[in-house]
Amino acid sequence: MNPAPLIACHECDLLQRETVLPNAGTARCTRCGAELYRNRPDSLNRSLALTVGALVLFAIANAYPIVGLKVSGNFVQTSLGGAVDVLYRDGMWPIAGLVLVTTILMPLLQMASMAYLLVPLRFNRVPYRADLVFRLLHLAAPWGMTEVLILGVLVALVKLAHIAGVVPGVALWAFGALMMALAASSAAFDPRAFWERVNRAEPHTFASAPTAARARLFACHDCGLLSKAAPRAHAGRCPRCGAALHFRKPESIARTWAFLIAAITLYIPANALPMMDTSSLFGAQRDTIMSGVVYLWTSGAWPLAVIVFIASVAVPMLKIMALVFLVVTAQRRSRGMLGPRTKIYRIVEFVGRWSMLDIYVVTLLVALVQFNALATIKAGPAAIAFGAVVVLTMFAAMSFDPRLIWDANEADHG
């Protein structure tokens, strides 16, 4: 009887044997609890159907206005692309680019890549250069932030409702449906089932050590394949999807520190400088992130005030503190709290994107409140600093290799 194939945990590098799962079952690492893989019934067909639906919703969401605003007989409405254009014309091109990438380009790349991979399989054909497109799909997934955009729209609507009549547009409902379709498509897609149809690589069934690195096996973080490293090699390419392979992320500690130091430097101006500059008949006002939270609280929208405070103030600060803790303990090769530190890393990876909330709120307010002599809103310098903090902390989390947490423990058994 042939032994079951091996699989390596991407968070602690432990080698384990695959097992047959029930429908919708999940396999987790026996050491750190990370998810290894799932059994997703009819994965490819469900993902394709949801992706096609998402593409239709995406076209509608970007063709129609998200929301309109009525003030003293004036009516202003904007689409997502129109909001990006207003930011660009106001000279806030870094924020315009960030919003364009995270709400339009990356979701579109994610859906287009998924459709490119799955449509040929529906007709029993292998997609051309599936390896390259699969890597593009893996690259786009963390940067598409449709769900954060929807929450940002809701916060903006609460703020706007106090100064004007708000008219929800067709795109608002389309974006809400798109958010659910994208989440369902990602949850349904099973990379293992895809690669079984495209490239049946010979699985490894024997290892001479408990972890992939000590057994000199590369674990691909894109497609999950285990491959044997060449003698004395410390890097390579996945033979299945072509992704770059390393036993550990190159210069992980140094690169994480570099991103963190830059994020810490920008965190202070992001919170001290104005996020928005408002001009009206009653004078000018400059709002920081905290003054925006206070406004929501005093307006009676305390649930949204709490959400904005957590996403825009607490999360970036706690994420920086958590990453500093993880990097310092990994650098000192600490053997304590291995499991809790891995869970902290998972939380940091999950929550980082939600800090984009305030950027999307500012984007909509700037695009809608353009009533010339009556009132105008422009993005303040803090918007650029805050957007940079969000991106830098996301890069820091991506640069950190959680397997370093467990390496000190492996040294005891070397």
- pTM for the model stands at 0.90
- Residues whose CB is less than 8 angstroms from the CB of residue 118 and which lie 6 or more positions away in sequence, other chains included: 44, 47, 48, 51, 194
CA distances from 256 to 113, 235, 324, 327, 393 (A): 29, 20, 9, 8, 9
Distance CA 114, CA 47 (A): 8
Full pLDDT tens readout for the chain, 414 residues? 457 788 999 999 999 988 888 888 899 999 999 999 888 888 999 999 999 999 999 999 999 999 888 877 777 888 899 999 988 988 889 999 999 999 999 999 999 999 999 999 999 999 999 999 999 999 999 999 999 999 888 888 887 777 777 888 899 999 999 999 999 999 999 998 899 888 767 777 777 788 988 889 999 988 888 888 888 888 889 988 889 999 999 999 999 999 999 999 999 999 888 888 766 545 566 778 888 788 778 777 777 788 888 888 888 899 999 999 999 999 999 988 999 999 999 999 888 888 888 889 888 888 877 655 456 778 888 899 999 999 999 999 999 999 999 988 775 554
Q: Where are the domains of the chain?
A: 1-39+200-239, 43-199, 248-414
Q: Name 384's Cβ contacts closer than 8 Å, sequence gap at least 6.
A: 92, 94, 95
CATH architecture classification, 248-414: Up-down Bundle (1.20)
